[in-house]
A and B are shown apart, each in its own frame.
Chain A
Amino acid sequence: MTAGDSHRVWRFGADIDTDQLAPGAYMKLGIEGIAPHCLEGVRPEFAPKVQAGDVLAAGPNFGIGSSREQAAAALVQLGVRAVIAPSFSGLFFRNAFNLGLLLLTCREAEVLREGERVALDLQAMQVVAGDGRRLACDPIPAFLLEMVAAGGLMNQLRRRLQTNP
């Protein structure tokens, strides 16, 4: 991924919880059954219209609530490239990286506007906004960036077991 790729922004508010991302009533289904209901309580048009490569920009405390990793998996299933927010639930943060979803902790995430196109510069750890402004993000440990690059923990385990069965 280079800073050149641009991503369409979907804006969400604060405190987006796991039960909005993966509603309890659909939890008995597989991820292909859950993903169409992702965030339907807040923005019903999101799941049907989101495109592969889009990003979410949200308020603080994104992903609070349950340990259900389907909350992150639903976004992966819908092709979401990254979530940008001032803060995340710690448990959701772990789940997202384990599933290969990039989370960027960015104090200024809420200046991003609906529909704007942004670039992600992971070398500099910055979000490049539509007007060229660079928003700083918290550093991410190298092993977590590698996990995202590998497409998640499952792929890493697969490789590890192939090397040392």
Chain B
Amino acid sequence: MQSPPRQPQTLAQKLIARASGRAHVAPGEIVNCRVDLAMFHDSSGPRRLKPMLEELGARIWDKERVVLVMDHYVPERDDDSRRIVRIARDWAREQQLPHVYDSIGICHVVLPQKGHLRPGMFCVGGDSHSPTGGAFGAYMFGIGATEMLGVVVTGEIWVRVPLTLRMWWDGRLAAGVSAKDMVLHLTGRFGMNGGDYQAVEFCGPGVQALAMQERMTLSNMSAEMGAQAGLVAPDAVTREWLLAAGVPPEAIEIERWHTDEGVDDSVARTFRFDAAALAPQVAAPHSPANARAVGEFGATPVQVAYIGACTGAKLEDLRAAAAVLRGGRVAAGVRLMVAPASLQDQQAAEAEGVLGTLRAAGAELLPTSCGACAGYGGSIPDGATVIATTARNFKGRMGSASAEVYLASPYTVAASALRGRISDPREVLA
């Protein structure tokens, strides 16, 4: 059999072609894919899946490929959350699920830390920030509970092959500027739905220079751009990180998973940015697309500074906050809350003195869960002006309809806590 000449393909096309068992797929085509991994949490998972599975009399297609993370309603704070978490725990036991992570961190951060993600995979998650997995060169996207039921029963899902929007970053970020600023800038530029449910690919020297968890922040907030997936081609940084997470070397394939040279403009559009020229970004209430340079916010006073979420409380984020707060103390009248994204990150931050720095600056340490980000664990007071490292500042999302939430990087949130007003971290670090 003769194989046709290889057509240049995007990373997204290659990942979907592999999952659909085809040599090539074209944007716009609808194909059925075999799912390598399905992840869900206590809110989107068992409490919805269990009754539907029972009603169908169906079974999980492959328990090895299922990961359950308890992160939304933990620690339990009332009868409802106790009931929801109990359903998840009982079901995990009953089903003898092999991969369950209970109260050790947020799903998107725990999943790769436990070695479940690797380049080339096709994955779904029961959470909208599932594109985070794209940072590892996996095609991963969020789905709702009923669609998850379909995956859990059949092991398959349909997808429309996306176009790719390539975000090419030249240069290196300045001190005090981070991946969060890059992705806030992109969300401001393209809007909340500018990704049009296509694939975004972050590339160029400015992206290659980023640490793994910084790349995760880019992919994470592809959700805010309305993209289906947010990909980064894997490289030596990816390999090192995955090896450290315990992934066997033979399972880490790097070379194949990139966008080919000469890919057609009709399949991938490239937008160019200069990382070196980027200023810290802040998104004003009530949309992540309201992002502008920090200097445009004058001296907006803040009462709450929140460093949390899969978007903004990973080890790299905690280090960034500590770099700004080292030797300082939060301004009078400001409450600084830190909810590390995972227990592993919290322990690493403790070991390297990062948590000590944050505590000495006056930070309150909260549990390693989703917490206030989605208004599930309300600690944001009514009427407060909040600056947060989270991904979304929709009106009311953090639990109070009268709170004004600004989004920024961990550097900027820390600098603002220190001064009691929205502040440029480069001034503090200088």
Which secondary structure dominates chain B's binding surface?
loop
CB distance from B279 to the nearest CB of A (A): 25
Instruction: Tell me the chain A residues, 69-107 only, with Cβ under 8 Å from chain B.
Output: 69, 72, 87, 89-91, 93-95, 98-99
**B260 at interface by CB-CB < 8 Å:** no
Please, which residues of chain B bring their CB within 8 A of the CB of A154?
Answer: 52, 55-56, 146, 149
A-side contacts of B150, CB under 8 Å: 98, 153, 157
The distance from the CB of B372 to the nearest CB of chain A, in whole angstroms, is 10
| Interface contact A17-B394, CB-CB below 8 Å | yes
Contacts of A153 in B (CB 8 A): 146-147, 149-150
Can you list, as one digit per residue, whether each of B377-396 has a CB less than 8 Å from chain A (1) or not (0)? 01000000000000010111
Known: A67-B142, A95-B147, A153-B149. A41 touches B401 (CB 8 A): yes
Across the A-B interface, how many residue pairs have beta carbons closer than 8 Å?
118
Q: B397 an interface residue at 8 Å Cβ cutoff?
A: yes
Indicate whether B130 reaches chain A with its CB closer than 8 angstroms. Answer: yes
A91 to B228 CA separation, bound complex (whole angstroms): 8
Closest A residue to B150 by beta carbon equals A153
A81 to B55, CA, bound (A): 25
Instruction: Give, as a whole number of angstroms, the nearest-CB distance from A135 to chain B.
Output: 20
With A28-B81, A41-B396, A65-B392 already in contact, the answer to whether A157 and B56 are too (CB < 8 A) is yes
- Interface positions, chain A 10-39, Cβ under 8 Å from B, are 15, 17, 19-20, 23-25, 27-29
In this complex, what residue of B is CB-closest to A158?
Answer: B56
Question: B409 to chain A: which residues have CB within 8 Å?
Answer: none
Q: How large is the interface on A (under 10, 10 to 19, 20 to 34, 35 or more residues)?
A: 35 or more
A100 CA / B374 CA spacing, docked (Å): 26
Our pick among B44, B52, B193 for the contact of A60 (Cβ within 8 Å) is: B193
A94 surroundings in chain B (CB, below 8 A): 143-144, 147
Chain A contacts for B210, CB-based, 8 A: none
Nearest Cβ distance between residue B179 and chain A, in whole angstroms?
21
Say whether B362 faces chain A, with CB atoms less than 8 Å apart: no
The 8 Å CB contact of B146, one of A28, A99, A161, is A99
* Residue of B whose beta carbon sits closest to that of A92: B144
CB distance A15 to B287 under 8 Å?
yes
Is B146 a contact partner of A87 (Cβ separation < 8 A)?
A: no
Is B84 engaged at the interface, CB distance under 8 Å to the other chain? yes
B344 to chain A, nearest CB (A): 25
B52 & A91 in contact (Cβ 8 Å cutoff) = no
Contact A28/B399 with A87-B193, A157-B56 known, Cβ cut-off 8 Å: no
Q: State whether A72 touches B392 (Cβ < 8 A).
A: no
Identify which of A27, A28, A90, A157 contacts B226 (C-beta below 8 A): A90
A61 interface hit (Cβ, 8 Å):
yes
Given A67-B127, A67-B128 in contact, is the A152-B146 Cβ separation under 8 Å?
A: yes
Contacts of B145 in A (CB 8 A): 69
CA distance A152 to B52 in the complex (A): 13
In the complex, the chain B residue whose C-beta lies closest to that of A141 is B30
**Which chain B positions have C-beta within 8 A of A60?**
193
Number of chain B residues close to chain A: CB under 8 A: 47
Is B58 a contact of A161 with CB atoms below 8 Å? yes
Q: Tell yes or no: B297 within 8 A of A by CB.
A: no
A-contact bits for B125-136, CB 8 A (1 contact / 0 none): 111101000000
- List the B side residues contacting A28 at CB < 8 Å: 73, 80-81, 84
Contact B197 A90 (CB under 8 A): yes
B57 to chain A, nearest CB (A): 7
Decide if A64 is an interface residue (CB 8 Å cutoff).
yes
Report whether B146 and A91 are in contact in the complex, using a CB–CB cutoff of 8 Å: no
* B153 touches A (CB below 8 Å): yes
Query: Quick check: is A117 within 8 A (CB to CB) of the other chain?
Result: no
Assuming A24-B376, A153-B150, what are 7 further A-B pairs, CB within 8 angstroms? A61-B226, A64-B192, A69-B144, A91-B141, A141-B30, A154-B55, A161-B57
Q: Can you name 15 A-B pairs with beta carbons within 8 Å?
A: A19-B375, A19-B396, A24-B374, A25-B399, A61-B192, A65-B392, A67-B126, A69-B147, A89-B197, A89-B226, A99-B144, A99-B146, A153-B147, A157-B150, A161-B57
- Chain B residues proximal to chain A, CB less than 8 Å: 30, 43-44, 52, 55-58, 73, 80-81, 84, 125-128, 130, 141-147, 149-150, 153, 158, 191-193, 196-197, 226, 228, 287, 374-376, 378, 392, 394-397, 399, 401
